[in-house]
Amino acid sequence: MIEAVKQAINSFSSPVTIFSASLAMFALFVLFPRQITSPWCTVPILLLVLAFFAVGLTDEHFVKIVTAPDNVPIVAMIFIAGYFTWYAMRKACLNDARLERGEPTFEKTETDEKVLVFPYLIYIEFVVALVYAIGLVLWSILLKAPLEEPANPTVAPNPSKAPWYFLGLQEMLVYFDPWIAGVLFPTLIIIGLCAIPYIDRDPQPAGFYCYKQRRPMVIVFLFGYWILWILLILVGTFLRGPNWNFFGPFEVWDVHKVVPLVNVNLSDFIFIKGLGWGLPKQWFLREAPGILLCLLYFMVPTTVAAKTWLKKLVEKLGPVRYSVLMILLLSMLALPIKMYLRWAFNLKYIVAIPEFFFNI
């Protein structure tokens, strides 16, 4: 019975099914947060996750990966990040219900007085930082660092994995050129996070947990955090094996697993398969459709939305902040779009100019 379940999970697992299933669960969470964060739903979900680990721990291969010293914090991260997301959403939903009934929020019933960030908030954060520091010290004492022999430039371990906090980036590198996945996207993530207080300056729903009044912001943040960061780290850590092939959670890491991954550039699709002309010699002719497509991707949604359903937002933000917001949002969406294009059409690069090391 358990073997059959494991087999089923393994054969279901692939990058596209895991990603799509996570997207579906994410959609359920943001559509029905009140129901999902209620104890009637949360406790069974928690039990299910624990049961998954309990069953998993009977599997030799699963144990080897999950209990590797450098993977332990990622298991902890699932529970810690899950708990804090649940906590914030639960409080937000309860506050939303109170506001609907015309009652003041929890925070307002505690005190109506405004307090300063320093020392009140910083003090709490400092205590939390201390607790985590103690946890880190205990972890490093109890679990030995997995040190290996001196590095040899001609030998790469198989699979070669980045430190756990970079595994999301490494997973992005499967779909993008190094300058995008390693330089542009991390920079945009940092700039985007810094830009949040300048783009979203609405003072009205501030100072208490709420969801209804800030639904778009909460959804965008949780999508970036859970789907594009945590999920990619989990896939990179637990489900990527030798030769960076994808393996199910209970699948043995076979070095000789053969996965068909042949990829084709957009220019091949258009000029060879579509038009039958063969590739143009000049790179700018060859890549013109891809470059055009990228420009349209950023320009069309921005202008169309500004004229139609985001009219009010443009008035509120002004053209500069609106454009920055749209560029950040579209860059963020470009990652899952490119992943699905790779899975559906084996599309390697939309713009491929290896002459200049420039590929999108």
Partner 1 sequence: MFPNVLFEPPTSFKAGFPSDYEIGTVDMRWKDKFGVFIIRSAEGLYALSNVCTHLGCTVNWLGGENKFKCPCHGSGYYKNGINFEGPTPRPLERFAVSLAEDGQILIDKSKKYQQEKGQWNDPNSFLNV
Spatial distance between the Cα atoms of 283 and 46, rounded to a whole number of angstroms = 53
Closer residue to partner 1 (CB): 95 or 359:
359
Q: Is 170 in the site for partner 1 (CB under 8 A)?
A: yes
Residue with tokens 């010699």: 281
Residue range at the interface with partner 1 (CB under 8 A); choices 71-79, 171-179, 272-280, 294-302:
171-179
Q: Is 354 in the site for partner 1 (CB under 8 A)?
A: yes
Q: List C-alpha distances in Å: 303 to 200, 221, 298, 309, 311.
A: 20, 23, 9, 11, 10
Residues 221-260 that bind partner 1 (CB under 8 A): 242-245, 255-256, 258, 260
Q: Is 261 in the site for partner 1 (CB under 8 A)?
A: yes
Q: Are residues 210 and 105 in contact, defined by beta-carbon separation less than 8 angstroms?
A: yes
Q: Is 282 in the site for partner 1 (CB under 8 A)?
A: no
Q: Is 15 in the site for partner 1 (CB under 8 A)?
A: no
Q: Is 348 in the site for partner 1 (CB under 8 A)?
A: yes
- For residue 354, the 8-state DSSP code is G
- The separation between the first and the last C-alpha atoms of the chain, rounded to the nearest angstrom, is 46
Residue range at the interface with partner 1 (CB under 8 A); choices 22-30, 156-164, 199-207, 295-303:
156-164
Closer residue to partner 1 (CB): 3 or 355:
355
Among 119, 178, 207, 274, binds partner 1 (CB under 8 A): 178
Q: Which helix (H) or strand (E) holds 171?
A: helix 167-173
- Buried b vs exposed e over 68-77: b needs ≥16 C-beta within 10 Å? eeebebbbeb
Q: What is the DSSP string of 192-251?
A: HHHHHHHH----TT-SS--SGGGHHHHHHHHIIIIIIIIHHHHIIIIIB-GGG-B--TTS
Q: Is 263 in the site for partner 1 (CB under 8 A)?
A: yes
Among 9, 72, 174, 219, binds partner 1 (CB under 8 A): 174
Residue range at the interface with partner 1 (CB under 8 A); choices 3-11, 21-29, 261-269, 316-324:
261-269
Closer residue to partner 1 (CB): 13 or 359:
359
Among 153, 197, 276, 318, binds partner 1 (CB under 8 A): 153
Q: List C-alpha distances in Å: 222 to 86, 93, 199, 225, 323.
A: 11, 15, 17, 5, 22
Q: Is 105 in the site for partner 1 (CB under 8 A)?
A: no
- For residue 164, the 8-state DSSP code is G
Closer residue to partner 1 (CB): 111 or 160:
160
Strand-strand pairing, 352-353 and 358-359: antiparallel
Q: List C-alpha distances in Å: 73 to 45, 59, 120, 182, 184.
A: 21, 20, 29, 23, 27
Among 40, 118, 277, 357, binds partner 1 (CB under 8 A): 357
Q: Is 262 in the site for partner 1 (CB under 8 A)?
A: yes
Closer residue to partner 1 (CB): 229 or 253:
253
Q: Is 175 in the site for partner 1 (CB under 8 A)?
A: yes
Spatial distance between the Cα atoms of 99 and 93, rounded to a whole number of angstroms = 10
**Residues of the shown chain interacting with partner 1 in the complex, contacts defined by CB under 8 A:** 152-160, 170, 173-178, 182, 242-245, 255-256, 258, 260-263, 348-349, 352, 354-355, 357, 359
